[in-house]
């Protein structure tokens, strides 16, 4: 193996590179805003996020590859950045108005195929030029190490600016307008381009059109208020006498809707009408609080994550719902419901979970074995835990049966007694003591409690709990798979995605359902075998450039996979606190910049350095495999992402410098990095994390990086 010498630090010129910094700043902050806008229109599903992230990485890699293979002087980096800044408002407008193209109503579910096509098309318009811009900046501002360093530093700054400044204070559109204006003004100072003024005017018009475009999106319904906050886009809709609150396209509640509020509360409270201390997680502003207050002895802790839901509800709800929020028997706690339950010393007579079904990894953490066990530990003797999920009145199809059976099996693993109330929504009840679904007994308790209801009445209870309906549901649940939904194996949010796709009867429904039936070992073993064969094939016959690019692609895959899994684990343990998530991402990007600085400061590049860095990456993955199964503190997870960034940044700089023809094709290594990250994003976020689980994926990464180390050690990595 030969050694590649390079100029000393003074000749290398690690001075500040404004174009590289602006490129990273724009790409990172634009990606955050785009993900949030997709969440607002495609429901925040991990499958949709996977499409967006995968498309972003794919087209960035393709743009870089395209630019590196064509020796051209134009367009300049500043022209490419200006073009992306001008295109971004058109992309966001196209995304907001996409429902008119798809022919759907506001709040109506959209198939995965159109969501994926929009993700691929819109990310192409933005990140293909950004990928090309990286190559152009490297040619003009090189060497590559310097450009990668300042691009990483800009990405860290852009992520913090978007997450801590733009997102909490501005809507996505206005945040984009501010971001774009900052970038355009910086470009104007650097290049004196007159076209910058035109782009600023476009951004100003874009910001003004935010409100009218949202009203257009919600037609034929009346939008009375829209608000972008840290937890999603909230929309208040008025139809006739009813007010509805939507979050990222999902209906949080409609008011008045006494039927939904009554069933969420009374089937649980009728197990013990004398319950005094009640914990309500979500659902209070939709009528749950008012129903609980009908029991004269109850004192309620109401936990709601997003304070904007309370604020908007107080502004638009009727007097009865608003008075419930201010009742002296109600204590409102604005925090994550799971974090509250794990930290409180209170014990409750009833815990009612009134959240949406587990359509995302964030919500799924309230339906795992670990959460159910925590809920059980916070109940007094004789207490009851309750939640409800959408179901079917009569026929329970196989995908729904699998979803419900997994829910019931997980609940039974935490509680000795479980009962399920059939209906359009299945109400799950769990306790340490025998529960009853005898309609005559529950009807009698409702009458004796003197609780006035319109929909949960003795007659309705009798019809809903008819013995043949209870028995039919029991048989359906028993015939389903006995899979446990856990923190480390969050399978039920994938099963919900299958249910979502079943509504459209397309190829995506068949594909998702087929993957759900594949043994988890096979889901990992087949890609792992393909990767090993690919490594062996490159060792045997690939040209030197290909052999050099493959370790960078493996590094990109590993760092993206670890980043996704650490963020999922952090989210499960500590909840989504947006500033903390931003800090985690900033820790990784800061580590990436420091690693790039370390690599650029080396006096010579040697293949042995890549081997040592690959060994360090393997050691980190191995350590995280053991760490992730416990309850690591947030600081520990943040530190692991920082170390991951340091290793990744140093690895990229050294491996890219050792690649053949590195000076003439500066985009080759960058393309390999992004395509490796693309492979991890498309496989893990959408499929492998829920179906295979974190422990199995970490073991697979250990094996894959062990083969990667072997690939380097055998001496076939050429400089």
The DSSP element (H or E) to which 686 belongs, if any, is none
For the stretch 289-328, pLDDT in tens is 999 999 999 999 999 988 999 998 888 887 777 889 999 9
DSSP assignment string, 540-589 = HH--HHHHHHHHHHHHHHHHHHHHHHHHHHHHHHH---HHHHHHHHHHHH
Residue 13 has pLDDT above 80, yes or no: no
Confidence of residue 584 (pLDDT cuts 50, 70, 90): confident
Q: What is the mean pLDDT of residues 539-566?
A: 81
Q: Is the dihedral of CA 12, 15, 20, 25 positive or negative?
A: positive
Say which range, 43-52, 111-120, 584-593, 651-660, has the weakest mean pLDDT: 43-52
Confidence of residue 372 (pLDDT cuts 50, 70, 90): very high
pLDDT of residue 195: 73
Nearest to 404 by CA among 418, 389, 386: 389
Q: What are phi and psi of 36, to 5 degrees?
A: -70, -35
Confidence of residue 329 (pLDDT cuts 50, 70, 90): very high
Confidence of residue 666 (pLDDT cuts 50, 70, 90): low
Question: Does the pTM of the predicted model rise above 0.85?
Answer: yes
- Contacts of 469-478 with CB under 8 Å at 24 or more apart are 469/422, 470/422, 470/437, 472/422, 473/396, 473/420, 473/422, 473/426, 474/420, 476/396, 476/401, 476/404, 476/405, 477/401, 477/404, 477/405, 477/408, 477/420, 478/405
Q: What are phi and psi of 235, to 5 degrees?
A: -135, 130
The answer to whether the CB of 45 falls within 8 A of the CB of 361 is no
pLDDT of residue 262: 93
**What strands lie across the sheet with 232-239, from one edge to the other?**
222-229, 232-239, 242-247, 250-255
- Contacts of 449-454 with CB under 8 Å at 24 or more apart are 449/270, 449/273, 449/295, 451/266, 451/273, 451/294, 451/295, 452/294, 453/258, 453/262, 453/266, 454/258, 454/259, 454/262
Say which range, 202-206, 448-452, 669-673, has the weakest mean pLDDT: 669-673
What radius of gyration do the chain's Cα atoms show? 27
Selected from 1.10.10.10, 3.40.50.720, 3.30.470.10, 3.40.50.150, the CATH number assigned to the domain covering 250-489 reads 3.40.50.150
Beta pairing class for 277-281 and 222-229: unpaired
For the stretch 175-190, pLDDT in tens is 999 999 999 999 888 8
Selected from 3.40.50.2300, 2.40.440.10, 1.20.1250.20, 3.20.20.10, the CATH number assigned to the domain covering 1-11+518-719 reads 1.20.1250.20
Q: Which residue has the higher pLDDT, 367 or 220?
A: 367
Confidence of residue 6 (pLDDT cuts 50, 70, 90): very low
Q: How many CB atoms lie within 10 A of CB 307?
A: 14
Q: What is the mean pLDDT of residues 37-43?
A: 79
Q: How many CB atoms lie within 10 A of CB 552?
A: 26
Q: Give the highest mean pLDDT range of 106-115, 177-186, 525-534, 684-693.
A: 177-186
The DSSP element (H or E) to which 621 belongs, if any, is helix 607-627
Q: Which residue has the higher pLDDT, 718 or 59?
A: 59
Confidence of residue 719 (pLDDT cuts 50, 70, 90): very low
The DSSP element (H or E) to which 312 belongs, if any, is helix 307-316
Q: SS3 for 245? A: strand
For the stretch 141-164, pLDDT in tens is 878 888 888 998 999 898 888 878
Q: What is the mean pLDDT of residues 336-360?
A: 93
Delimit the domains of the chain by residue range.
Answer: 1-11+518-719, 18-141+170-243, 250-489
Distance CA 287, CA 297 (A): 18
Distance CA 530, CA 536 (A): 10
Give me 662's structure tokens.
């590195």
């Amino acid at each position: 193996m030969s050694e590649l010498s390079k100029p000393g630090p003074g000749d290398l010129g690690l001075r500040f590179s404004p174009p590289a910094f602006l490129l990273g700043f724009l790409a990172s902050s634009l990606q955050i805003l785009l993900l949030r806008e997709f969440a607002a229109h495609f429901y925040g599903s991990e499958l949709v996020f996977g499409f967006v992230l995968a498309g972003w990485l794919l087209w960035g890699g393709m743009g870089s590859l395209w630019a590196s293979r064509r020796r051209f002087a134009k367009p300049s980096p500043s022209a490419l950045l200006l073009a992306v800044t001008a295109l971004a408002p058109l992309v966001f407008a196209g995304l907001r108005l996409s429902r008119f193209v798809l022919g759907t109503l506001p709040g109506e579910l959209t198939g995965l195929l159109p969501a994926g096509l929009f993700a691929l098309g819109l990310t192409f318009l933005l990140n293909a030029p950004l990928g090309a811009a990286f190559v152009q900046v490297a040619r003009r501002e090189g060497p590559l190490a310097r450009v990668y360093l300042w691009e990483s530093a800009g990405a860290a700054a852009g992520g913090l600016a978007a997450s801590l400044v733009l997102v909490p204070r501005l809507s996505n559109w206005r945040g984009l307008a501010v971001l774009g204006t900052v970038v355009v003004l910086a470009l104007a100072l650097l290049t004196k381009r007159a076209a910058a003024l035109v782009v600023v005017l476009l951004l100003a018009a874009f910001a003004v059109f935010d409100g009218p475009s949202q009203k257009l999106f919600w037609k034929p319904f009346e939008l009375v208020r829209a608000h972008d906050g840290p937890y999603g886009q909230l929309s208040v809709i008025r139809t006739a006498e009813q007010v509805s609150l939507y979050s990222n396209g999902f209906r949080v509640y409609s008011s008045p809707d006494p039927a939904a509020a009554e069933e969420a509360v009374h089937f649980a409270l009728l197990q013990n009408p004398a319950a005094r201390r009640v914990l309500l997680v979500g659902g209070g502003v939709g009528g749950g609080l008012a129903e609980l207050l009908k029991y004269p002895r109850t004192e309620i802790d109401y936990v709601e994550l997003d304070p904007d839901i309370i604020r908007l509800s107080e502004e638009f709800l009727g007097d009865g719902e608003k008075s419930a929020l201010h009742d002296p028997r109600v204590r409102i706690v604005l925090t994550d419901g799971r974090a509250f339950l794990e930290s409180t010393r209170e014990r409750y007579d009833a815990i009612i979970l009134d959240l949406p079904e587990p359509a995302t990894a964030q919500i799924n953490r309230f339906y795992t074995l670990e959460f159910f066990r925590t809920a059980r530990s916070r109940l007094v003797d004789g207490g009851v835990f309750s939640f409800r999920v959408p179901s079917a009145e009569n026929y329970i199809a196989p995908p729904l049966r699998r979803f419900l059976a997994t829910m019931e099996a997980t609940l039974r693993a935490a509680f000795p007694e479980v009962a399920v109330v059939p209906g359009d929504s299945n109400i799950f009840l769990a306790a340490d003591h025998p529960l009853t679904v005898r309609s005559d007994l529950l009807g009698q308790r409702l009458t004796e409690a003197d609780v006035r209801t319109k929909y949960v009445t003795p007659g309705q209870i009798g019809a809903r709990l008819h013995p043949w309906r209870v028995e039919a549901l029991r048989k359906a649940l028993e015939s389903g798979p006995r899979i446990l939904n856990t923190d480390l194996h969050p399978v039920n949010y994938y099963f919900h995605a299958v249910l979502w796709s079943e509504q459209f009867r397309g190829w995506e429904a068949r594909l998702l359902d087929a993957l759900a039936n594949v043994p988890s070992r096979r889901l990992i073993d087949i890609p792992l075998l393909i990767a090993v064969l690919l490594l062996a094939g490159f060792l045997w016959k690939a040209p030197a450039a290909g052999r050099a690019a493959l370790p960078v692609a493996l590094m990109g895959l590993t760092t993206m996979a670890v980043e996704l899994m650490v963020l999922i684990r952090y989210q499960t343990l500590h909840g989504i606190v947006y500033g903390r998530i931003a800090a985690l991402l900033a820790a990784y990007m800061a580590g990436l910049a420091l690693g790039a600085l370390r690599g650029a400061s080396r006096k010579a590049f040697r293949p042995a350095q890549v081997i040592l860095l690959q060994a360090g990456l393997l050691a980190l993955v191995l350590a995280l495999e053991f760490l992730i199964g416990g309850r690591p503190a947030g600081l520990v997870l943040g530190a692991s992402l920082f170390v991951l960034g340091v290793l990744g940044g140093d690895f990229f700089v050294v491996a890219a410098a050792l690649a053949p023809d590195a000076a003439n094709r500066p985009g080759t290594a960058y393309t390999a990095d992004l395509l490796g990250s693309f492979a991890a994003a498309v496989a893990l976020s959408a499929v492998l994390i829920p179906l295979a689980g974190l422990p199995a994926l970490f073991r697979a990464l250990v094996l894959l990086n062990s083969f990667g180390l072997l690939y380097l050690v055998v001496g076939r990595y050429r400089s």
